[in-house]
Amino acid sequence: MNNHIELKNVCRAYINGAQSVTVLKDINLTIASGEIVAIVGASGSGKSTLMNILGCLDVPNSGDYFIAGQSVADLSPDELARIRREHIGFIFQRYHLMPDITALSNVEIPAIYANTKRSVRRLRAAQLLARLGLEGREHHNPGALSGGEQQRVSIARALINGGELILADEPTGALDSCSGEEVLQILTELNRQGHTVVIVTHDRKVAEYAHRVIELRDGRIIADNCCRAIEPSAGLSGLPEKLSDNEQEDWRSLWDRTRESLITASKALSAHRLRTVLTMAGIVFGIAAVVTVMALGQGAKQRTLDDIKKLGTNMVSIYSGGDYFDSSGKSRRPLTLSDLDVLASQSFVDSASPEILILQPVRFRAKSANAAIEGVGRDYFRVEGIALIEGSNFSDYDDALQEVIIDENTRNAIFHDDEGSLGQTILIGSVPAKVVGVARNNHNYSPNRLSLWMPYTTVMYRLLGQQNVNSIIIRLKDDTSSEAAANAITQLLTQRHGDKDFMLFNRDQIRRSIERTGKTLSLLILVIASISLFIGSLGVMNIMLISVSERTHEIGIRMAVGARRSDIMQQFMTEAILVCLAGGVLGIALSLAIAPLFSSMAGSTLTPIYSWKAAFLAFVCSTLIGTVFGYLPARKAARMDPVVSLASE
């Protein structure tokens, strides 16, 4: 913008309800660079409207506006913002400073949007403030400054990016005459240094400073008087170097702007602490619910898996007989010891044991109890994963040895505490047997059951007097698919027996069906928890919308000094994401705090299991919520009309 600005037949009308009011009518105006022009006129004559058009805050309904020969009619909002940022400095009657940040930070804002390095812009802002007599006041908030001082801060802000064209809309209107005089002195001084200055004022004295006085009435120019000639200016030499030379790389400026919006966001959030906390509460409870449900679900799943593991999932049980309801009465081949040998020699079989169950009274001296006696092989304890806590396994099982292994329940039931059980002979039915080992209680059975194990040969020949086994229990090798193994066993036995006269029972099937049920259930609970999170998210959106309308004025100021739409967008998105992230962190913390409570309330040994995955998911979730639910309010903010937003206060 090196020579001048030019308005040609510019009209601006406002639609007020059904009727349209034309505020500027056919304005033709040229302002040369280096001029200082005063615009005067009664209130409502259209001065501010004209200034807004000159400053690219507003666009004419018809007519053309050229800046340095370029028409602004075709420019996008962001291109207009660029012109404001790089060439124009606004000075308003009511200063329009941001109240929550220091004078220095206020001055810096346009330079942030111009991608100026932090060190450069801070230095320059401090220099400008010092030049305007505000040394020592840089770190005061606007509220702590007098009106005249605030107006000087706003002049510094207008100059930070260069401010070739300074538009001052009644800059002295809110000031006492002394401060007003000072401001006018500064503006004429700036003009002498080469800035083009347009001042809207009531103050007739301004005419003394101005080259031209333009008078508006009812939206028309009714007078345009030259008072004095333009003196040759010293150029803009009084200013530090042009800031665009100090632009930084994109990623740096992005980080810079992100940091600024983080600072702004945290300030805005802490300015409304109660509201922030209430907004966050929705997210906190939502995230806590989801994380807790996931952790408890994981815990429940783990417990089920542990339980099932104790059951042994890689086990197959085989029973003789066609099926549970077989009543054909056909004679069948029972399972035999040679079936057992063949099965045990299969490559996928880890170990195999017969299992013959009978109920018998057991007795030691005066004490007796009813117990379940199982005839098993040496491998049985390995197959079932039962640990011996005392003594050892049977020495052999082929010879119907009269040895017995008892569980803890049995030991407690028939032995006194001071009697050692190992080596004692007890009576099982009428058969005496020596206790060779004590096994840990197996809680897969009912906890009070008394279990004893004897070599299957002993049970078959001495207790039952039969040659066959009722069932065989097989532990598969760990890497074997239980389904494939079950098929192979079925085939093998069918071939040996000539008929499928046995039942196969695969414990892996139970595990899978339990897991499926568990999955469905936790999915259901997760959906419910997610609904609460969703409602929390709506709360965020609601509060963000309120925040945007409350801060319309701030948005207007930022736009006036050259913020792009994306800058405004980023600012509000940052705020929304910040609230949600903080809510997410607190939600995880809350979940950690309440989960033990939950599991103790459930009166079980259910321990919640927290995984990094869940925490990470919660983070991603809350960021996503911030992004999705902050988007609408942020977009609303970014699309505001700068003139309308500036006017709201």
Residue 23 interacting entry, from ligand ADP, Mg ion, none, C-beta within 5 to 8 Å by type: ligand ADP
Kindly state the smallest distance separating residue 551's Cβ from ligand ADP, in Å: 19
Apex CA 580: angle with CA 625 and CA 596, to 5°?
105
Neighbours of 336 (CB within 10 A): 17
26-34, 48-56, 173-181, 478-486 -> range binding Mg ion (CB under 5 A): 48-56
If the CB atoms of residues 15 and 178 are measured against ligand ADP, the closer one turns out to be 15
The count of chain residues that interact with Mg ion, using the rule CB under 5 A, is 1
Indicate whether 52 belongs to the interface with Mg ion (CB under 5 A): no
Residue 591 interacting entry, from ligand ADP, Mg ion, none, C-beta within 5 to 8 Å by type: none
If the CB atoms of residues 14 and 255 are measured against ligand ADP, the closer one turns out to be 14
In 3D space, the residue among 93, 125, 123 whose CA is nearest the CA of residue 108 turns out to be 125
Residue 49 interacting entry, from Mg ion, ligand ADP, none, C-beta within 5 to 8 Å by type: ligand ADP
CA distances from 644 to 154, 491, 637 (A): 20, 84, 12
Q: How far apart are CA 317 and CA 357, in angstroms?
A: 14
- Six-digit token string for 521: 């259930």
Kindly state the smallest distance separating residue 646's Cβ from ligand ADP, in Å: 10
DSSP state of 237: G
Kindly state the smallest distance separating residue 164's Cβ from ligand ADP, in Å: 23
Asked if 315 contacts 355 with a C-beta cutoff of 8 angstroms, the reply is: no
Q: How far apart are CA 303 and CA 311, in angstroms?
A: 12
45-53, 72-80, 352-360, 570-578 -> range binding Mg ion (CB under 5 A): 45-53
Q: How far apart are CA 558 and CA 338, in angstroms?
A: 91
Closest residue to bound ligand ADP by CB: 48
Residue 338 interacting entry, from Mg ion, ligand ADP, none, C-beta within 5 to 8 Å by type: none
Indicate whether 49 belongs to the interface with Mg ion (CB under 5 A): no
Asked if 450 contacts 371 with a C-beta cutoff of 8 angstroms, the reply is: yes
Place of tokens 């206060």: 649
Question: In sequence order, what are the beta bridge partners of 8?
Answer: 64
If the CB atoms of residues 203 and 379 are measured against Mg ion, the closer one turns out to be 203
Question: In sequence order, what are the beta bridge partners of 502?
Answer: 320
Q: Find the binding residues for Mg ion in span 527-566 (CB under 5 A).
A: none
If the CB atoms of residues 489 and 555 are measured against ligand ADP, the closer one turns out to be 555
Apex CA 246: angle with CA 242 and CA 250, to 5°?
135
Kindly state the smallest distance separating residue 210's Cβ from ligand ADP, in Å: 17
Kindly state the smallest distance separating residue 63's Cβ from ligand ADP, in Å: 16
User: Which residues make up the interface to ligand ADP (CB under 6 A)?
Assistant: 14, 16, 21, 23, 41, 43-49
If the CB atoms of residues 52 and 591 are measured against ligand ADP, the closer one turns out to be 52
Residue 264 interacting entry, from ligand ADP, Mg ion, none, C-beta within 5 to 8 Å by type: none
If the CB atoms of residues 44 and 235 are measured against ligand ADP, the closer one turns out to be 44
Residue 314 interacting entry, from ligand ADP, Mg ion, none, C-beta within 5 to 8 Å by type: none
If the CB atoms of residues 95 and 453 are measured against ligand ADP, the closer one turns out to be 95
Kindly state the smallest distance separating residue 626's Cβ from Mg ion, in Å: 39
Kindly state the smallest distance separating residue 83's Cβ from ligand ADP, in Å: 21
Apex CA 506: angle with CA 350 and CA 484, to 5°?
65
If the CB atoms of residues 524 and 644 are measured against Mg ion, the closer one turns out to be 644
Q: How far apart are CA 469 and CA 557, in angstroms?
A: 91
Give exposure, 263-290, as e/b (b: 16+ Cβ within 10 Å): ebbeebbeeeeeebeebbebbbbbbbbb
Q: How far apart are CA 57 and CA 639, in angstroms?
A: 13
Quote the strand ranges of 191-276, DSSP E: 196-200, 212-217, 220-226
Q: Which of 48, 276, 441, 442 binds Mg ion (CB under 5 A)?
A: 48
Closest residue to bound Mg ion by CB: 48
Q: At what angle do helices 77-87 and 565-601 cross, to 10 degrees?
A: 110
Question: In sequence order, what are the beta bridge partners of 16?
Answer: 19
If the CB atoms of residues 48 and 150 are measured against ligand ADP, the closer one turns out to be 48
Contacts with Mg ion, residue ranges (CB under 5 A)? 48
